[in-house]
Amino acid sequence: MSFEAKTGSFEKMKQLNQSTVLNMIRMREPISRAEIAKLTKLTPPTVSSLVNELIQKNLVTEEEAPSSKAGGRKPIMLRINYSAYYIVGVYAAAEIIRVILTTMDGKIISDYCKEMTQLPSKHEFLNLVIESIHYVLNHTTIDKSLILGIGFAMHGLVNPNEGLAIFSPHLQLENIPIKDCLEEEFDIPVFVENDVRALALAESWFGQGKDVSDFVCISVGRGIGSGIFINSEIYKSSFNTGGEIGHTIIDVNGPKCQCGNHGCLEAYASETAILSKVKSELNNYPDSILFQWVKNGKKELSLNLVFDAARSGDELAASILVETGRSLGLAAANMINILKPSKLILEGNIFLEDKYVLDPLKQMINKYTFKSPHEEISVVCSKLGKTGMPLGAVTLVLNKLFKPEE
């Protein structure tokens, strides 16, 4: 079932000019019809008729301008009515499925998290997703016909055109037909994208990428991925798999990566890599704070515990975190040299504290980025937090509605 074949309100709104007008209102609101005509180069009667349709659909509201300079008739200004429709955003990570329901400005109305305690089969995974979405929809009073679409942020390799999860490394599953399955169940348009690319889209709408047309988003969790935003669009490559910074090579003689190669960034700097490094080193440092904490199963080894130990003066923990930052910084510097984005946005729990990972990362970028003095590339942390990926899923739907397609 394709998006175009739908007969609901969403399909009609999608017409190119209407999206153009809608997006112009979003970017410049409050804005008058005359200004829209000037900026879009559409004729005033065309703008008027498109705006009227948008008002009928309750997507746009009118208000009187507070005052007019010329002292004449006050112009009528237009705004987006963000609470008119709703969007479902789903994020499937390694161990959780998270479903949020939002208004069109990304305000979260419901938030549900389902844990996956064991590796599901393809069928079980899709059933868990369906159950989770039903749970959210059943626990809200909103009119279901006002839901514009379901966005889905999926880790691993994704084909967004077919709405297919090609390969999920964490679930060890291939070719999951997410779009087909969810559209059949819910009869709502579904858009699927890689989780970090969805996150980058969320950053461009709601986060640190709002005011720049080019940035790179690097996400570090159990794996490492990136979302590349160029000329105000997500870069996918014709294979839909662009941005795999986690599998760029730091050292060909390095540790084995999940992908089969040796020395990938992911094998050095993911959360999994940090913990396995700690485990393999721990017995060599029986005096370390970390060793004392975890011996005899007193405390469970976790990323937080490694940070706690580093803060308490544990040299082993601190040095592993600093090395992680240096590896990430090296890979980031290489990426910056190729793409020269104006911003680098970092997402992940390991960036929550400056000292251990972020500072060495920035030092490596400063050292290895080839640039002229006027090139200022800012390195910032995402502020969207755990909401970033599901909000990215929501943004997939928004992007279809507001951004005109050629």
- Looking at 24, 165, 250, 257, which residue binds Zn ion (CB under 5 A)? 257
CB neighbours (10 Å) of residue 101?
23
8 A C-beta contact, residue 178 and residue 126 = yes
Residues 209 to 248: which contact Zn ion by CB under 5 A? 247
Distance CA 154, CA 169 (A): 11
Q: Report how many residues bind Zn ion under the rule CB under 5 A.
A: 5
Q: Which is nearer to Zn ion, 126 or 269 (CB)?
A: 269
Interaction of residue 259 with Zn ion, rule CB under 5 A: yes
How far apart are CB 374 and Zn ion at their closest, in Å? 35
Please count the helices (runs of H) and the strands (runs of E) in the chain. 14, 16
How far apart are CB 247 and Zn ion at their closest, in Å? 4
Q: Using alpha carbons, list the distances in angstroms from residue 377 to 315, 328, 332, 363, 374.
A: 31, 16, 12, 13, 10
How far apart are CB 257 and Zn ion at their closest, in Å? 3
| Span of 45-53, 152-160, 249-257, 330-338 interacting with Zn ion by CB under 5 A | 249-257
Please, what sign has the CA dihedral across residues 185, 190, 193, 198? negative
How far apart are CB 24 and Zn ion at their closest, in Å? 43
Site string for Zn ion, 262-301 (x = CB under 5 A): --x-------------------------------------
Q: With b meaning 16 or more CB within 10 Å and e meaning fewer, what string describes 315-352?
A: ebbbebbbbbbbbbbbbbbbbbeebebebbbbbbebbe
Q: Which is nearer to Zn ion, 189 or 223 (CB)?
A: 223
Q: How wide is the angle at C-alpha 399 spanned by C-alphas 337 and 112, nearest 5°?
A: 100
Strand 378-381 and strand 343-347: the pairing is parallel
The neighbouring-strand residues paired with 233 are: 230
How far apart are CB 193 and Zn ion at their closest, in Å? 21
Q: Which is nearer to Zn ion, 249 or 282 (CB)?
A: 249
How far apart are CB 343 and Zn ion at their closest, in Å? 26
Q: Which is nearer to Zn ion, 39 or 259 (CB)?
A: 259
Q: Which is nearer to Zn ion, 269 or 310 (CB)?
A: 269
Could you list the residues that contact Zn ion (CB under 5 A)? 247, 257, 259, 261, 264
